[in-house]
Amino acid sequence: MNAPVILDRRQMLAGSGALIVSFSLRGAFAEEQGAPAAAAPSPPGSLKTSPYLDAWLRIDADGAITVFTGKAELGQGFKTAFQQIAAEELDVPFASLKVVTADTRLTANEGYTAGSHSMQDSGTAIQHAAAQARALLVAEAAKRLELPAENLRTENGAVIAQDGRRLAYADLVAADMLHVQAQPTSKLKDPATFKVMGQPVPRVDIPAKVTGGVAYVQDMRLPDMVHARLVRPPSYGAELTDCNSSAVEKMPGVVKVVRDGNFLAVLARKEFQAVKAMRALAAAAKWKESARLPKQDDLLALLTTQLKSQDMTILERGNPSAAGRRTIEATYTRPYQSHGSIGPSCAVAQFVDGTVTVWTHTQGVYPDRQAIAEMLRMPPANVRCIHTEGSGCYGHNGADDAAGDAALLAKAMPGVPVKVQWMREQEHGWEPFGPAMATKLKASLDSEGRIADWNFEVWSNTHSMRPGSAGSLLAAQQMAEPFPVPAPKPLPLPEGGGDRNAIPIYTFPNAHVVHHFIPEMPLRISAMRSLGAYHNVFSIESFMDELADLAKADPVEFRLKHLDDPRGREVIEKAAQAFGWHKGQQASQDRGYGFAFARYKNLAAYCAIASEIEVNRETGRPRLVRAVAAVDSGQVVNPDGLTNQIEGAIIQSMSWTLYESVSFDEVRITSIDWQTYPILRFDAVPDTIEVHIINRPGKPFLGSGETGQGPAAASIANAIANATGKRLRNLPLTRKRIKDAIDA
Amino acid sequence: MMTLRVNGYEYEVDAEPDTPLLYVLRDDLKLNAAKYGCGLGQCGACTVMVDGKAVLSCVTPLVLLEGKRVTTLEGLGTVSEPAPIQRAFMEEQAAQCGYCIAGMMMRAQALLQRNPKASDDDIRAELAPHLCRCGTHMRILRAVHRAARLMDTAELSPSDQRGAQ
């Protein structure tokens, strides 16, 4: 799958005059090369699937160094982190490198930028590729200087001998030196010697973003570009029965009206001309709508009884000697929720000589290319997707759809660059939502207040309807010869989808976990930051507090009593200590303390969050006063970037948890802007958020972009329960629900 | 044709009078900072200054801007010569995706020009019309406080004077 990519790039580089460095097998890995390939373990991270070093690194004869990642910068800041990693392992100055992100012509296929995998997959690949490239350069220098490699060191982009002789990397590279497969192991630097990794290096993208530079696909302007606006159906499945567009076609600046089945768009020279034409076209369009949405106010019944499910037992652990004495049960629900990107989705596409280029803020340039190629009935090689930043997405929002829209419209306007910008109500109404979920928990305590048995059931749709096939794109679903929506599949464990983090990290003698996978999707849904982990961790960690309460135990002590994982224990202890948590603590009037913990996917970063909430008893309005988090994400590359991610996770998860639910009637989605889908504003921002990082030098990177979502939700819910004496189990924990609980 | 004064320069703009300022800035003048977020005045991403006051450019038609002075983030400073508010946001690393940030900065700039001693409560209240989805709020608040200190201590550079128009 990757070979053609590398060929593409190498052809392009040859065309642009850059030199490809050469490699001699008499270099550093000569011995390993002799070993039978089949017996060799695979190299780490994404080197497994894209093993050639020059898929990750290029050193030009003029000394310019480029790092390639197949992942997309979405505002997480990893572009900076990757630059740090490469600079560290190559021993070159940070500023001397350039990072190129996801582009089907230039970079490896790393699938989606999702699941907190960027550091683990791409960061690890870059680290090892850089370390192995450095070893190759040292080996080449050793040969030229006729010195043993171990007598050489590297510094500032050069190999240096003990006698002071110095060979710059630029002088050492020769054609194809890095066109060699990665070895399974690398000689990585000792973390104690790190100069760049572990430092809070400022983000490379922020200066342009705070000075009005070109930073987003929304800022792209190509010569003679036209602006497109869509007229999307007013509801799922609506059919365009009539549309007289003749008046619209005569409007100022209008270049074309494109209709293909239920896909309707207008293109104009100037952007606001396109907006006005879109409004006129929307008024001219007649749609046949149907009542196909479920009742919004009874999601529990919808999920657990009305929709059919496929049931899978995903954990069965038994120990008859542990006997429960006291049993409690609880049911928790989560509504459909929006990604709610501040910038609606956007894409630019251009069709030239049978090839379409799409600039898109997709999370997966290769799967998006596949879907677009299928939709346009073109070979994938004739579609190029270039990741260009958009507004933060937090999962699968309208990005891919907008890319599909732009590609379809570009095909209708050969040669002309087309920019598609979704309107606010289109993003809110058509983005694939985070799925609604329900969980039922039941557990028993033994005579010593320990959990003897644990039962957990979760009902959920899939959590990924991402592209790969055309039927995932709105344009392809709406065109005259539509592509069917692909059949949903549950995402496999250990990462899981609806069952992500459904298996408890705690050690319970008896445990039973069931995933009720619901194939039917009444609302359009897909991946939203942390997938099922948000609700599963909210449920587990709320219920742990309910059980601690039953056991009359301190919530932190109760968690530690059931947790063996030493790194998990350390994270809990750190958050509790930094918060000032102590047994028997009493919050002041109308305030409460809450605690929660999880290890994302049970295999990525650990995160514990303690919080203090104030509840206005008259209005029910909650306010997070302060939150203290501890996180272990293995070897830290950029501590400030990590802190930024955790701070953001806490605030975003607080917004989901306290305010957010998609609303709909029988026909239409009715939450279509920030008035009808309110999110957190500055008046709800806490006084302080502290993030404490437990660094693990030399340990693998553990993805941390999503680890805070679940713990933040449960910590807040537990603090509200502590403040009010009332347990709320249905998300969002709105002011009204809190007030009703207080008054009940 | 209408004359529009933006960041100290005068432009002859050929746009219909009902065109929101946002589209004139982005499409006609090719300025990037003011962002389209909602077109409804609900999110603040499009905020610029008009005669020193924060204005939602997505709901402000061109016809209302005759003779007024528009300032966008581009008018405050550059990467090499950042204005205090820009320096503060860089130093605090006050962005994730950054899409909302330009609008936040313009309202904060207007506030600090009007009230250099703005309290934390003042800043939070002032930023109420603005949404940030990444959850960068703590850093944004810190950056505005830092900007106030920088403005207080730094001599006005030429770029600041441009911004203060």
Residues B67 and B92 in one domain: no
Residues B96 and B68 in one domain: no
Give domain status of residue B141, yes or no.
yes
User: Judging by beta carbons within 10 Å of its beta carbon (0-12, 13-18, 19+), is residue A18 exposed, middle or buried?
Assistant: middle
Fold of the domain spanning A217-290+339-430: Aldehyde Oxidoreductase; domain 4 (3.30.365)
Q: What is the pLDDT of residues A230-260, one digit of tens each?
A: 999 999 999 999 999 999 999 999 999 999 9
Angle (CA) A251 A256 A259, round 5°? 115
Q: Which distant-in-sequence residues (6+ apart) come within 8 Å of A76 by Cβ?
A: A118, A641, A645, A705, B96
Residues B103 and B50 in one domain: no
Interface confidence (ipTM) of the complex: 0.94
Q: Which distant-in-sequence residues (6+ apart) come within 8 Å of A654 by Cβ?
A: A624, A680, A684, A712, A713, A716
The pLDDT confidence band at residue A362, using thresholds 50, 70 and 90, is very high
Q: Which helix (H) or strand (E) holds A551?
A: none
The pLDDT value given to residue B106:
98
Mean pLDDT is lowest, of A318-332, A601-615, A625-639, B120-134, for A318-332
How far is it, in rounded angstroms, from Cα A567 to Cα A602? 12
Angle (CA) A720 A726 A727, round 5°? 75
CATH number, span A9-196+203-208 = 3.30.365.10
The pLDDT value given to residue A40:
61
Phi, psi angles (nearest 5°) of residue A724: -110, -15
Of A162 and A20, more confident: A162
Residues B120 and B145 in one domain: yes
How far is it, in rounded angstroms, from Cα A356 to Cα A494? 37
Q: Domains in chain B: how many in total?
A: 2
Domain spans of chain A, in order of start:
9-196+203-208, 217-290+339-430, 542-744
Q: Is B95 within 8 Å of A649 when comparing Cβ atoms?
A: no
Q: Which helix (H) or strand (E) holds A646?
A: helix A639-659
Q: Which helix (H) or strand (E) holds A256?
A: strand A254-260
Give domain status of residue B164, yes or no.
no
Residues B23 and B55 in one domain: yes
Total count of residues recorded for chain B:
165
Please name which of A364, A670, A666, A373 lies closest in space to residue A527, comparing C-alpha atoms. A364
What tokens appear for A609 in the block? 């969050």
Contact A97, A204 (CB under 8 A): no
How far is it, in rounded angstroms, from Cα A282 to Cα A245? 10
Give domain status of residue B111, yes or no.
yes
Residues B132 and B113 in one domain: yes
Q: Is A649 within 8 Å of B31 when comparing Cβ atoms?
A: no
Please name which of A619, A546, A600, A602 lies closest in space to residue A712, comparing C-alpha atoms. A600
Q: Using a CB–CB cutoff of 8 Å, tell me whether B3 touches chain A.
A: no
pLDDT at A212 > cutoff 90:
yes
Give domain status of residue B20, yes or no.
yes
What tokens appear for A658 in the block? 């306290």
Range of the domain at B59: 2-75
Give domain status of residue B51, yes or no.
yes
Contact A112, A118 (CB under 8 A): no
Mean pLDDT is lowest, of A30-44, A687-701, A719-733, for A30-44
CATH number, span A542-744 = 3.30.365.10
The pLDDT value given to residue A41:
84
User: How much is the mean pLDDT over chain A?
Assistant: 94
Domain end among B50, B75, B100: B75
Q: What is the pLDDT of residues A253-275, one digit of tens each?
A: 999 999 999 999 999 999 999 99
Give domain status of residue B64, yes or no.
yes
Domain end among B48, B75, B102: B75
Q: How far is A107 from chain B (nearest CA, A)?
A: 22
Q: Is B102 within 8 Å of A210 when comparing Cβ atoms?
A: yes
Percentage of chain A exceeding pLDDT 70: 95
Mean pLDDT is lowest, of A12-16, A137-141, A343-347, B127-131, for A12-16
Q: Which distant-in-sequence residues (6+ apart) come within 8 Å of A650 by Cβ?
A: A609, A627, A629, A689, A708, A712, B135
Q: Is B137 within 8 Å of A207 when comparing Cβ atoms?
A: no
Dihedral angle sign, alpha carbons of residues B120, B122, B125, B130: negative
Cα separations in angstroms, A256 against A253, A421, A507, B86? 9, 16, 63, 41
The pLDDT value given to residue A31:
35
Residues B118 and B90 in one domain: yes
The pLDDT value given to residue B153:
84
Residues B67 and B128 in one domain: no
Closest residue, chain A, to B105 (C-alpha):
A210
Determine the residue type at A343. G
Q: How far is A202 from chain B (nearest CA, A)?
A: 7
Give domain status of residue B14, yes or no.
yes
- Region A49-78: mean pLDDT is 95
Give domain status of residue B162, yes or no.
no
How far is it, in rounded angstroms, from Cα A468 to Cα B13? 44
Give yes or no on whether A217-290+339-430 and A542-744 have one common fold: yes
Residues of A with Cβ-Cβ distance to B30 under 8 angstroms: 221
Assign residue B109 the CATH number of its domain: 1.10.150.120
Chain B (39-98) residues lying within 8 Å, Cβ to Cβ, of chain A: 39-40, 42-43, 45, 72-74, 77-79, 82, 86, 89-90, 93, 95-98
Phi, psi angles (nearest 5°) of residue A27: -80, -155
The pLDDT confidence band at residue A328, using thresholds 50, 70 and 90, is very high
Q: Which residues pair with A434 in a beta bridge?
A: A337
Mean pLDDT is lowest, of A20-29, A65-74, A345-354, for A20-29
Strands (E) located in A637-733 = 688-693
How far is it, in rounded angstroms, from Cα A719 to Cα A686? 14
- SS3 state at A630: strand
The pLDDT value given to residue A8:
39
Chain B (104-133) residues lying within 8 Å, Cβ to Cβ, of chain A: 105, 124-125, 127-128, 130-133
The pLDDT value given to residue A39:
54
Please name which of A682, A117, A200, A454 lies closest in space to residue B44, comparing C-alpha atoms. A682
What tokens appear for A729 in the block? 């189990």
Q: Is B102 within 8 Å of A214 when comparing Cβ atoms?
A: no
Residues B59 and B88 in one domain: no
**Which pTM does this prediction carry?**
0.94
The number of beta carbons lying within 10 Å of the beta carbon of residue A146 is 6
Cα separations in angstroms, B92 against A84, A134, A446, B151? 19, 34, 50, 15
- SS3 state at A30: helix
Residues B19 and B66 in one domain: yes
Q: Which of B6, B134, B142 to mutate to test the interface with A (most CBs of A within 10 A)?
A: B134
Residues B96 and B43 in one domain: no
Residues B65 and B100 in one domain: no
How far is it, in rounded angstroms, from Cα B144 to Cα A398? 32
Please name which of A486, A501, A484 lies closest in space to residue A540, comparing C-alpha atoms. A501
